[in-house]
Amino acid sequence: STDRTLLLAGNWKMNLDHLEAISTVQKLAWALRDAKVDLTAVDVVVLPPFTDIRSVQTLIQGDSLDMAYGGQDLSAHDEGAYTGEVSGRFLSRLGCSYVIIGHSERREHHGETDAQVRSKVEAALRHELTPILCVGEPLEVREAGEHVAHTLDQLAAALDDLPSADLGGLVVAYEPVWAIGTGKTATAADAAEMCTALREKLRELLGADTAQSVRLLYGGSVKADNVAEITEHPEVDGALIGGASLDPDGFAALCRAA
């Protein structure tokens, strides 16, 4: 799609310990090579649990694997008395390029608010991490026909008044909550509708040039056999993949199919 590089990001959630992470990344590198995935045309990213990141760094940097990695969350704060939290600075020091912010599981199970999501976007930018900002509606909102307004409100709350010069590399993932881990995928038309609306809103918030460079992902039960149809639309620049990113051969096949 246009001049934006396709991005396929695997959100491991709370799966794979640091030893499993090593074998998964190693197998993924082999599988991407065997599947002849053109890594100049697609950015492949893994998002492991925090405790895996050192191991993943050693492997990816040590063997110069053509992959990037990042965290699944970060603290809004940089350091201090915040027990259990992880600073963006620490992620950055471990070579992370990306960080997921505002995943629906964090909004749901940890009560993350739009205001906290916004503070985390600011924290990521302070430490030169690319936010993968997640937005998307629950089922009842879609059934009420309010999904576009709901999702654009989340986007605006996260980005309003931030300096657009800092946001050229931003990634926004549209993840309808009802499609995450349920096997129910939004149709390619649903993904395209929302990504088109998100781009329009980004133009309003950040100006046309910055909006044009933001990558818009779809997430929710993406698999090797539906990824191509979803990313075919010019406004959909890739996918955020949960379950289907855990199996290296399957994830490589998905990267190949995209």
Q: Any residues with CB less than 8 A from the CB of 48 and at least 6 apart, and which? A: 12, 16, 21, 56, 69, 72
36: left (phi over 0), alpha (psi -120 to 50) or beta: left
Residue 15 beta carbon to ligand PEP: minimum distance, rounded to whole angstroms: 10
Contact between 175 and ligand PEP per CB under 6 A:
yes
Nearest approach in angstroms of CB 75 to ligand PEP is: 20
**Does 72 sit near ligand PEP (CB under 6 A)?**
no
Q: Is 182 helix (H, G, I), strand (E, B) or coil?
A: coil
Q: Identify residues 79-108 at the interface with ligand PEP (CB under 6 A).
A: none
Q: Which of 221, 253, 255, 258 touches ligand PEP (CB under 6 A)?
A: 221
Contact 134, 101 (CB under 8 A): yes
Nearer to ligand PEP, 238 or 242 (CB): 242
For the segment 3-32, give every residue that binds ligand PEP (CB under 6 A). 11
Pick one of 71, 176, 220, 248: the residue that binds ligand PEP (CB under 6 A): 220
Q: Does 73 bind ligand PEP (CB under 6 A)?
A: no
For the chain, the C-alpha Rg in angstroms (whole number) is 17
| Distances in whole angstroms, Cα of residue 198 to Cα of each of 45, 97, 174, 219, 236 | 22, 23, 9, 14, 10
Give 158 or 244: the residue with its C-beta nearer to ligand PEP: 244
Is 143 a catalytic site residue?
Answer: no
- Collapsed DSSP state (helix, strand, coil) of residue 96: coil
The partner residues of 217 in beta bridges, in order of sequence, read 173, 238
Q: What are the tokens at 177?
A: 């909550």
Q: Which of 8, 44, 101, 180 binds ligand PEP (CB under 6 A)?
A: 180
Q: Which residues bind ligand PEP (CB under 6 A)?
A: 11, 175, 180-181, 219-222, 240-244
Residues tagged in the binding site annotation: 11-13, 181, 221, 242-243
Looking at the annotation, which residues are catalytic?
Answer: 103, 175
